[in-house]
Structure 1
Amino acid sequence: MRSLIRLDRDLRVDIVRGFALWAIFVNHTPGNVMGAVTPRNYTLSDATEAFVLLAGYAAGLAYGIVMDRQGWFFAASRVLGRVFTLYVAHIFLLVVFTAQVGFSAERLDAAAYLDELHLDPFGADPYRALLEALLLRYQPSFLNILPLYIVVLAMFALAMPLMRRPWLMLGLSAALWLVAREMGLSLPSWRGEDWFFNPLAWQLLFFIGCALGYRPPGGRPIVLPWRRWAGALCWLLLAAGAALTVLIHFQWDFTLARLPAFAPWLAAIDKASLHPLRLATMLALTYLIAHLVSRDAAWLRSDPGLLLALLGQQALPVFCAGIALSFLGRLALEASDAWWMQAVVNLLGAAALVALAVLTAWYGAEKRAPRRPSTPGLPAGAPADRG
């Protein structure tokens, strides 16, 4: 397995992304006890913020090199090719997820699944629902992260040259985020609701990642040096966020009863349009990890670290599989919530994600490997006679 992991990359990025993908699987499985150790329970940000920020980092690093070597047009065409891949993956996941939820709802006589996961339009108006899903104007629950990624990556294809002027890019991105939040701007949806993740707001986190990932030729990338006071502020923000998270998710009745004037402000810490506290929390975590975890730390290359890195390096198939498996895990936990079922769901779920990552990495390595000569009797590695 180690041979399938690209060790020349910054493993901190891959490990954090792998952990985020595992957390997405766990958090989308209701009743999973492992949800207690995921970041949403002790920070104001969660796996989604990490996923979007690191997607931007990877885009800035990879496509920035292509742009500087082969020009913006070619790089933009590569980005749009990735957009198409994400779109196909989203539609495939939509079909699989809808089929398994619909089949389960029929066999178990549990129509509540369709209502809860916003799949009821497929029963009332299936043809229109399918059309709107293809247009990304209809997004059932759990199927709203890839549409966000598709839109911000398409925006990146147009804005890519601005990476050479990162502060201008970040200023324009922050202005769009602020306008979207203050004016309630979002993309239209079929049934009148706003997108669960507003791309006009979440693009800021993506473009921050782009700015951090881009390596200008002959220039200096954006580096925020370590300052003790900045680190102290980050820890203070995380501690305050942990306290607010407890009040919001675990002590809401206490908050309403004892802090009635404070409750509306807490309730306004929204995820849809990337509340400033959620954004600040993700940036604080990024700053601390970047400076307190050495890029050459030995534990990054330990077996657990490499398992997470492998998941992070095969993010798209692992994400899709995690969403599909999460509903199967839900069905299992609803059948039995015993400790052994919790163990089966989590162990088999994690094993399936790792197995898929291994298979995808192996297939990618085989595609990149030099082709062997097809001439009969020619020794492996010997040049074929082209005369």
Structure 2
Amino acid sequence: MFALIRQDRDLRVDFFRGLSLWIIFVNHIPGNWLGLVTPRNYMLADATETFVLLAGYAAGLAYGIVMDRQGWLFAASRVMGRVFTLYVAHIFLLVVFTAQVGYSAERLDAQAYLDELQLDPFAREPYRALLEALLLRYQPSFLNILPLYIVLLAMFAVAMPLLRRPWLLLGASAALYVATRTFDWDLPSWSGEGWFFNPLGWQFLFFIGCALGYRPPGGAPFTVPYRRWLVALSLALLALGVVATQLLYFRWDIAEQRLPAVLARFLAGIDKAAMHPMRLATMLALAYLAAHFIPRTAAWLRGWAAAPFVLMGQQALPVFCAGIALSFLGRVALEISDQWPMQLLVNLAGPAALTLIAALTAWYGTEKRAARRGAAPAAAAAGAPAGAAPVVANPLPAASGRDSG
């Protein structure tokens, strides 16, 4: 496993992205006991916020380098190529997930699967549902993260030149965020209720990640320096979030009865769809503490316990897609029995399968890069014409996060 991990990257990013993928798998299985200890139960930010912030960081790092070397149009074309890859992956996952859930609903006589996972339109209007899904206007449950990422990357392709002026980029992004929350802007959906993850709100977190990831040639990167008062503020914010989470999701009766009406309304308005400021602030506080208290050279990031998460984080797209399908299998298994033997089986077999998929993907990528590197000397030995373009194995650096999900 260790031989498949690319060590010349910021392994903190890969570890937390892999951890987020595992948490998403766990949270998508109703009745999973591990779901009781995931971050969504204790703070106003969870794996999705982590995933989006790190996706922005990887995009700013990888494509910012391409832009500085080969220009904006070339870099934008690379981004749109990634958008197309994500779109194809989303449609493939939609077909697999719909077939998986539909077959299970028929065989197990469980119509509730279709209703709960919002796949019932395929039973009522299959052709219209397919069209709306292709247009990203219809997103069944669990299939709304990739459409969000697709739109964010498309926005990034246009805004990429602003990476060189991070405060202008963040100012424009913040203005769109405020306008979105003020005027309830959203992208159109088939249901008319808007997107589950509103890209116009989530783009602010994504572009913060882009600004942090970009490394200007010959200049200092955009950073937030260590300050004791910022550490104290971050810790206080996280403590406040713990209380708010417990009241909002587990003890709302206390919030209604004992809190002032204004405060209770504020808690009730903490939404995830358009990235409520409290959720945004919580994620930024977590990122600030992690960046300053976990050194890039931390030995544990290269240890055996972190290795599966680092490997999954480096192969995020196939792991995410597989995790969606496996989580439904885990749900069916726990509906057969939710006692500790089945709990143990689901929570060991699932991550093991995801790690295996990551390992196979990494191995294939290593073999492909080796073949490309070997092609260059072979072409030279065969007498390539003078001035011919060299064979480039990978225009992105090894630490670029090109394979981000």
Superposition TM-score, scaled by structure 2 size: 0.92
Q: Which amino acid aligns with 2:62?
A: A
1:117-196 equivalence runs, <5 A: 117-196=117-196
The Cα offsets for residues 305-346 of structure 1, whole Å up to 9 and x where unpaired, read as 121110100011111111111111000001101100000001
Aligned partners of 1:64 and 1:176: how far apart in 2? 22
Give a deviation string over 1:157-183, Cα, whole Å, max 9, x none: 010000000000000000001101100
Residue 188 of structure 2 aligns to a residue whose secondary structure is coil
The one-letter code matched in structure 2 to 1:35 is G
Q: Which runs of 4+ in 1 moved over 4 A?
A: 371-374, 381-385
How far apart are the structure 2 equivalents of 1:36 and 1:297? 28
What secondary structure does 1:369 align onto?
helix
Decide whether aligned partners of structure 1 residues 31 and 70 sit closer, same or farther in structure 2, where only a CA change above 3 A counts. Answer: same
Alignment match, 2:382: 386
Bigger drift between 294-303 and 355-364 goes to 294-303
- Is 1:47–2:47 an aligned residue pair? yes
| Cα distance in 2, alignment partners of residues 259 and 30 from structure 1 | 31
Aligned to 2:249: 249
Q: How far has the Cα of 1:260 moved from its partner?
A: 6.4
Structure 2 Cα separation of the partners of residues 254 and 308 of structure 1: 38
Cα pair 1:212 1:222 within 8 Å, conserved: yes
**Could you say which residue in structure 1 is the equivalent of 2:2?**
2
Letter in 2 for 1:321: A
Map Cα deviations across residues 243-281 of structure 1 (whole Å, 9 max, x no partner).
Answer: 111111221233233336233221100000000000000
Change (3 A) 1:74 1:31: same
Q: Call closer, same or farther: CA 1:74–1:281 in 2, change over 3 Å.
A: same
Evaluate the alpha carbon distance shift between residue 66 and residue 130 of structure 1 in structure 2; reply closer, same or farther with a 3 A threshold. Answer: same
Determine the structure 2 residue equivalent to 1:378.
Answer: none
Instruction: Work out the percentage of aligned pairs sharing the same amino acid.
Output: 72
Q: Distance in 1 between matches of 2:373 and 2:115?
A: 54
Map of 1:273 onto structure 2: 274
Tell me the SS of whatever aligns to 1:169: helix
Task: Tell me which amino acid in the other structure corresponds to 1:252.
Answer: W
Corresponding position of 1:29:
29
Distance (Å, rounded) in 2 between the aligned partners of 1:285 and 1:78: 31
Counterpart for residue 201 of structure 2: 201
Q: Alpha-carbon deviation of 1:36?
A: 1.9
Post-superposition shift, 1:294?
Answer: 1.1
Aligned to 1:316: 317
Three-state SS of the structure 2 residue aligned to 1:370 is helix
**What TM-score comes out, normalization by structure 1 length?**
0.96
Give the match's secondary structure for 2:348.
helix
SS at match of 2:371: coil
5+ residue gaps, structure 1, are 375-380
Task: Give the alignment of 1:208-287 within 5 angstroms.
Answer: 208-259=208-259, 261=261, 262-287=263-288
User: Is 1:79 the equivalent of 2:79?
Assistant: yes
Instruction: Kindly state the Cα deviation for residue 371 of structure 1 after the two structures are TM-superposed.
Output: 5.4
| Cα separation, 2, equivalents of 1:386 and 1:287 | 53
